[in-house]
Amino acid sequence: MSDPRKLYIKTYGCQMNVYDSERMSEALGPNGYVTVDSPDEADMILLNTCHIREKAAEKVYSELGRFKGLKAEKPDLKIGVAGCVAQAEGEEIMRRQPMVDLVVGPQSYHRLPEMEAKAGQGAKVIDTDFPEEDKFERLKSRPKAKRGPTAFLTVQEGCDKFCAFCVVPYTRGAEVSRPVSRVLDEARDLVERGVREITLLGQNVNAYHGEGPDGRDWSLARLIRELSEIDDLARIRFTTSHPNDMDDDLIAAHGDCEKLMPYLHLPVQSGSDRILKRMNRSHDRDSYLRLIDRIRAARPDILISGDFIVGFPEETDEDFRDTMRLIEEVRYGQAFSFKYSTRPGTPAAERAQVEEAVKTARLAELQALITDQQRAVQDSMVGQEVGVLIERAGRLPGQMVGKSDHLHAVHMQTDLAPGSLARVRIVESGPNSLAGDVIG
């Protein structure tokens, strides 16, 4: 038997890319590849890229430049670029970095085995089509290896919202939902291999409308309720949601589905109605706040997370103040915030831009407020009992680390194994985690 070939994958961006990287690795397994942790060991390097952050493409080209010496030392080394930058840049990647052997978009990675075989014969291969076939259907069954206690599961891809700042509709395509039966099969398979918590993924995951076994489209809430019937699946989460797709049934599920965790990431992006309209977000400040009130009425202990863009084109000081007032009113437990950066081809890229120094100052002010709110929420957990899914050993002898119902990292002294669920009384709040005592 020949020695296995070695695959190194570097993943950028969101949880969906983490899931995609797992599936790419699995797709290449039948071609004789096993994953390794260092590019120096690899026979093939894949960069699974994200196009959301500032200068994403340039960062990929910079990363590729670091591999020139390695390619010179190992002429047979294959280098590939996958994901959203691959979709957006296409042949430009090959032109700027001729050492790249293959480029594959996020909807075509089920074709990686054939592409890798062609690259092995010296061909340069590009596939950035939006194929008609379902990539998940074409992928081979997932290997039966033991898994950790948590896993991502993509149920929906693409976006039809066309926010003025976002490239996702162009790099991931239109909204598509996986059929219910395939999601349930994959979920059961994950649970059989040791997974206790599944996070359902989608660009607009709450727009899920997969075909059910009854021939009708199922909502995300109905899918969650069906998943909750899997005996050894203890926890369900989902991300990322759009406010316009948060329907009554999904709100109700947060109150009546015990396995659905009290954590919701619900991006708003701005607190200014004028800027929201310019962003093409199709919701306003008041509708978002009313939605938060309804969700909290269904699940009073829910932790709300959000996204914010500061310095969007034409944002005034008053627009920014509206965002700060919204943050003060919502009281976020977590949030992610960014300075606006242009994405060629999107409507906002052509508009008058806010000065960089103004963006920087606004971001610092917003992040300070968010940090205060996050810390206040963490501090309020001291003295409370929470559920914790133990995930791994900590740095200290006898210490284990897990995630609470609200997605806080929790450290504790226990001999419970990864995958165990524990009741923990929180005794201390640190900058980025909690500490607790196991009580059951």
**Residue 302: closest CA among 251, 371, 243:** 251
Instruction: Indicate the annotated binding residues.
Output: 14, 50, 84, 159, 163, 166
Instruction: State the pLDDT at residue 2.
Output: 65
Instruction: State the pLDDT at residue 310.
Output: 98
Cβ–Cβ under 8 Å, residues 228 and 257: yes
Instruction: State the pLDDT at residue 54.
Output: 59
Helix/strand/coil percent split, the chain, to 5: 40, 25, 40
d(CA 110, CA 125): 14
- Kindly report whether the peptide bond that precedes residue 371 is cis, defined as omega within 30 degrees of 0: no
Phi-psi region of 323 (alpha: psi -120 to 50; beta: other; left: phi over 0): alpha
* Phi, psi at 424, each rounded to 5°: -130, 135
Instruction: State the pLDDT at residue 169.
Output: 86
Instruction: State the pLDDT at residue 137.
Output: 65
Return the ∠ at Cα 331 (arms to 329 and 332), rounded to 5°. 135
Instruction: Indicate the annotated binding residues for [4Fe-4S] cluster.
Output: 14, 50, 84, 159, 163, 166
* Phi, psi at 370, each rounded to 5°: -60, -40
d(CA 426, CA 57): 43
> Which domains, from first to last, does the chain contain?
5-127 (3.40.50.12160), 135-380 (3.80.30.20), 385-438 (2.40.50.140)
DSSP string, 181-221: HHHHHHHHHHHHTT--EEEEE-TTGGG--PBPTTSSBPPHH
d(CA 132, CA 274): 38
Task: Name 129's bridge partners.
Answer: none
Longest dimension (CA), the chain: 68
Q: Which residues of the chain have pLDDT under 70?
A: 1-2, 52-54, 130-145
Cβ–Cβ under 8 Å, residues 334 and 367: no
Tell me the whole-structure pTM to 2 decimals. Answer: 0.84
- Express each pLDDT in 410-422 by its tens digit: 999 999 999 999 9
The H helix count followed by the E strand count for the chain is: 15, 19
